[in-house]
Amino acid sequence: MVNSKHAFWQAFLVTLFVFIAGLVLGFYIEVSNVSNSDLLIRESEVELLDQQIKISSLTSGINQNCESAKQNLFDYADQIYFDAINFEEDGSRSKLTVEQMKVLHKRYDLLRINLWLESLELEKKCGSNFHTIVYFFDYDTKDVDVKSEQRIFSLVLMDLKYKYPDEVLLLPIASNLELGSVDVF
């Protein structure tokens, strides 16, 4: 009646198989997500470069229309902002790895630095009819106090941006991602 000793290693092998099958499936899904994400990143990059060139051309004197230069600057900032939110959501859905998220953050921080410089340039050329708020924060901090404080600061600044959409240029930049240009500022 008692003859099921083999059940222990059989169960181990089946569990291992299920786990490995799960990992392979997970890996396949991740790879497919990564390729989708890569495509999204590339598309977004093309659009951002397009905007960047447009703004550079506006602020460097090719086009002298200050109002449309300002509008393009704000559109560019908005696009960076919403793109970043979309990628954050992808990150929380595990579509993007932690490392991918970090690289993306670095990229967006650099773009914001660039935006900041462009806004300064525009201010020189056209005078100041908007406010630039640069907010440095710690990315992925483990300090609960800092985390809570940053959460509130981001809400306050977001409120400000929603209240004065055409007068406030909001540039949140992570200060702890080891970017030389960010360290300079």
Partner 1 sequence: MNFVDFLFFFYTFVGLYMLILMIIVYLPHRKEMFNYPKGKPEPVSIVIPCYNEAKSIGKAIENLLNLNYPKQMIEIIVVDDKSTDNSVEIIKQYTKKYSNVKLIVNKKNSGGAAEPTNLGIKAAKYNYIAVADADSYPEKDALLKMIGFLQKDPRIGGVTGAVLVKDAQTFIQKLQYIEYVVISFARKLLDFVDAVYVTPGPFALYRKEILFKIGLFDIKNLTQDIEIVWRMMSYGYRARMSLDTKIYTIAPRSFKKWWRQRVRWNIGGTQTLYKYRKWFPSKNMLGMFIIPFFSASLFIGVVGIILFAYLAIRRALVLFLSTKYSFIANETVTRLVDLSFNPSILNFFGISLFLLGCFYSLFALMTMKELHFKNINIFNLLFFLTLYLMIYPLIMIASMYKLAVGKYSW
- The CB-of-78 to partner 1 minimum distance in angstroms stands at 16
Q: 28 or 185, CB closer to partner 1?
A: 28
Pair 166, 73: CB distance under 8 Å: no
Q: 4 or 180, CB closer to partner 1?
A: 4
Alpha-carbon span 53 to 73, nearest angstrom:
11
- The CB-of-92 to partner 1 minimum distance in angstroms stands at 5
Pair 119, 80: CB distance under 8 Å: no
Spell out the alpha helix ranges (H) of 93-143: 98-126
Q: 13 or 120, CB closer to partner 1?
A: 13
Alpha-carbon span 50 to 52, nearest angstrom:
5
Contact residues toward partner 1 (CB under 8 A) are 1-2, 4-5, 7-8, 10-12, 14-15, 18-19, 26, 89, 92-94, 144-145, 147-149, 151-152, 155-156, 159
Q: Which residues pair with 132 in a beta bridge?
A: 169
- The CB-of-42 to partner 1 minimum distance in angstroms stands at 23
